[in-house]
Chain A
């Protein structure tokens, strides 16, 4: 990085933060602070929804995942458009009609306070911990590659998000996310165009021949993680949980001038999400081709850590692996060019033979990469905290892009970290204020100024908690994986509660409360059974429909055996 890169990076990031803070500094109306300006249009809502969902991992790690495993991950998003249609048609009109600030407030009106607290509690538990991961995950990669201090990177990123989220609340988050998305789109398209200029004309065919372009897989095997079926069924329930019941998303679209604005904002995402993700995974597949044809491609992309070992006491072992990889890489490049020649000649038998030789060369090269990874992790256990694929795109950015564009791409990474983090903090502050603090201070609900002040304090507290947690995570290497699992297994029961709330009018609070707990136990049992017997483990996306269905069925069953409840207040129900 040179002075131009620093100028672009700091100018972009600080400029957007300062602009958002300044424009929303007088936000003292509770509705504006929690829901955003009542004049917000669908374009802003749509970008805000997109920015909250896509964290730095999307832009930093996904190209690397596609580079290593191909583009099948795109199927994960197949259920998303269908889920957004349901959210638009069912969830959003009800939230708007009741004028709620949070999704869990609706549960209180529809069922009872204990169900509301269950929903809000599950949300703050998951999101509070994940807010720390949102900072930590990109920080460890960027700090490693750029030689920055990890703790300083975490604290600076966290403080920037806290400043404008606390100052302007939802209004500031919406405003800044719009500009951050503009930076993200601009940076990613620029990187894509630069990459295209460095590739041969038949790059897509090479990627396909090397097994990186299998976008869809119709195999009906529940053990496979990414197929059309897991994507449509499991992805539908996962997206319905996330967009319909997770306050970090609900908060983005319940504001706005009219119901129409929220709906169009969600439809904007329904149409654009899969193409946008396709663009990112294709970028990754093309990065793979670029590095296949690039002399001197490193055996592992986390070169900072690798070079430390090269210069360490086990340097001879690491240099030997490097030399072996260099020879195999050169051989693979020759095989690629032979396959291209056979493909262009139209000689089918020659092409089949060339592809077989290429597959064998790729297998040999991959074996050395695995050996390098295992050797590195044995020598430096800290290397287990990240995957090597996380370093593929950032390596390309730092070594292949011109100065200025490097700064822009780093601004993309920090913009995405800030935008998703701000959305999370905003939702945590809101839920803590509306569903938890107000529950214990019911008389304070009428004091709007006090509510805004409490929301600001709680937002800041969650921000500092997230920073503290991110700093702690660095000493607990398996925590990230554990938390991701926890988040993915807690959504289904919560979605089940909302499905019962919307569609099964005769089911009351106690039945759904205990049904949710029972469904949660079922999901946990299936999950741990799969871990104990890996041969019988199912793809994790299937937990979503199973957990949701269990909650609905248990609710129906319990409602038939439980005594009828007398509702203390008459609330207009959808």
Chain B
């Protein structure tokens, strides 16, 4: 019904091409680590000032 133009097939797990990261799993791990660090930092901030 909707013959959208199909792009050339691309690999679902192509390399992230980001220095220091070989896989997307590594990128996600890094983002998760940053999230944990931010929550910890906000907890420390609350304890320090509130």
Are A and B interaction partners?
yes
B-contacting residues, A84-102, CB 8 Å: 84-85, 88-89, 93, 96-101
Expressed in whole angstroms, the Cα–Cα distance for A434 and B4 within the complex equals 9
Nearest residue (CB) in A for B25 is: A89
Q: Which of B14, B16, B50 contacts A214 (CB 8 A)?
A: B50
Interface pair A213/B49, CB less than 8 Å apart: yes
Interface pair B31/A85, CB less than 8 Å apart: yes
Partner-contacting stretch, out of A74-82, A138-146, A165-173: A74-82
Expressed in whole angstroms, the Cα–Cα distance for A96 and B9 within the complex equals 9
Interface pair B14/A108, CB less than 8 Å apart: no
Interface pair A434/B2, CB less than 8 Å apart: yes
Expressed in whole angstroms, the Cα–Cα distance for A373 and B9 within the complex equals 60
Q: Which of B4, B32, B46 contacts A99 (CB 8 A)?
A: B4
A-contacting residues, B4-50, CB 8 Å: 4-7, 9-12, 14, 16-18, 24, 27-28, 31-32, 34-35, 38-39, 42-43, 45-46, 48-50
B-contacting residues, A405-464, CB 8 Å: 434, 438-439, 442, 445-446
Q: Which of B3, B4, B35 contacts A270 (CB 8 A)?
A: B35
Nearest residue (CB) in B for A285 is: B49
- Smallest Cβ distance from A251 to chain B, in angstroms? 13
Interface pair A264/B16, CB less than 8 Å apart: yes
Interface pair B12/A105, CB less than 8 Å apart: no
Q: Please name all residues of chain A whose beta carbon is closer than 8 Å to the beta carbon of B34 when the two chains form the complex.
A: 81, 270-271
User: Does chain B have a CB within 8 A of A205?
Assistant: yes
- Smallest Cβ distance from A171 to chain B, in angstroms? 16
B-contacting residues, A51-75, CB 8 Å: 74
A78-B39, A267-B31, A278-B42 are contacts. A442–B1 as well, Cβ < 8 Å? yes
A96-B7, A260-B16 are contacts. A204–B2 as well, Cβ < 8 Å? no
Interface pair B24/A216, CB less than 8 Å apart: no
Expressed in whole angstroms, the Cα–Cα distance for A216 and B39 within the complex equals 8
Interface pair B2/A81, CB less than 8 Å apart: no
Q: Which of A74, A81, A113 contacts B32 (CB 8 A)?
A: A81
Nearest residue (CB) in A for B43 is: A216
- Smallest Cβ distance from B12 to chain A, in angstroms? 5
User: Does chain B have a CB within 8 A of A162?
Assistant: no
Interface pair A88/B14, CB less than 8 Å apart: no
- Smallest Cβ distance from A455 to chain B, in angstroms? 13
Q: Please name all residues of chain A whose beta carbon is closer than 8 Å to the beta carbon of B2 when the two chains form the complex.
A: 101, 105, 108, 434, 438, 445
Interface pair B24/A89, CB less than 8 Å apart: yes
User: Does chain B have a CB within 8 A of A31?
Assistant: yes
Interface pair A259/B1, CB less than 8 Å apart: no
Interface pair A93/B12, CB less than 8 Å apart: yes
User: Does chain B have a CB within 8 A of A489?
Assistant: no
Interface pair A105/B4, CB less than 8 Å apart: yes
Expressed in whole angstroms, the Cα–Cα distance for A213 and B17 within the complex equals 39
Interface pair B38/A274, CB less than 8 Å apart: yes
Q: Please name all residues of chain B whose beta carbon is closer than 8 Å to the beta carbon of A508 when the two chains form the complex.
A: none
Interface pair A271/B31, CB less than 8 Å apart: yes
Nearest residue (CB) in B for A438 is: B2
Nearest residue (CB) in B for A204 is: B49
Interface pair A208/B50, CB less than 8 Å apart: yes
Expressed in whole angstroms, the Cα–Cα distance for A434 and B17 within the complex equals 33
Nearest residue (CB) in B for A232 is: B39
Instruction: Point out which of B4, B17, B27, B31 has the most chain A C-beta atoms below 10 A from its C-beta.
Output: B4
Q: Which of A85, A100, A213, A445 contacts B46 (CB 8 A)?
A: A213
Q: Please name all residues of chain A whose beta carbon is closer than 8 Å to the beta carbon of B31 when the two chains form the complex.
A: 81, 84-85, 267, 270-271
Q: Please name all residues of chain A whose beta carbon is closer than 8 Å to the beta carbon of B11 when the two chains form the complex.
A: 259
User: Does chain B have a CB within 8 A of A207?
Assistant: yes
User: Does chain B have a CB within 8 A of A263?
Assistant: yes
Interface pair B42/A96, CB less than 8 Å apart: no
Expressed in whole angstroms, the Cα–Cα distance for A367 and B5 within the complex equals 62
Interface pair A88/B10, CB less than 8 Å apart: no
User: Does chain B have a CB within 8 A of A258?
Assistant: yes
Q: Please name all residues of chain A whose beta carbon is closer than 8 Å to the beta carbon of B43 when the two chains form the complex.
A: 215-216
Expressed in whole angstroms, the Cα–Cα distance for A30 and B28 within the complex equals 33
Interface pair A97/B28, CB less than 8 Å apart: no
Q: Which of B5, B32, B38, B50 contacts A82 (CB 8 A)?
A: B32
Expressed in whole angstroms, the Cα–Cα distance for A208 and B6 within the complex equals 55
Expressed in whole angstroms, the Cα–Cα distance for A214 and B4 within the complex equals 50
User: Does chain B have a CB within 8 A of A381?
Assistant: no
Expressed in whole angstroms, the Cα–Cα distance for A216 and B50 within the complex equals 10
User: Does chain B have a CB within 8 A of A315?
Assistant: no
Q: Please name all residues of chain A whose beta carbon is closer than 8 Å to the beta carbon of B14 when the two chains form the complex.
A: 258-260
Interface pair A439/B17, CB less than 8 Å apart: no
Q: Please name all residues of chain A whose beta carbon is closer than 8 Å to the beta carbon of B18 when the two chains form the complex.
A: 264
Expressed in whole angstroms, the Cα–Cα distance for A143 and B19 within the complex equals 48
A99-B4, A99-B6, A259-B12 are contacts. A214–B24 as well, Cβ < 8 Å? no
What 3 pairs across the A-B complex have the smallest Cβ distances? A208-B49, A81-B35, A215-B42
Q: What are 22 A-B residue pairs whose CB atoms fall within 8 Å in the complex? A: A74-B42, A85-B28, A85-B32, A99-B7, A100-B4, A101-B2, A101-B4, A108-B2, A113-B1, A205-B49, A207-B49, A214-B46, A216-B39, A260-B14, A263-B27, A267-B31, A270-B31, A271-B31, A274-B38, A434-B2, A438-B2, A445-B3
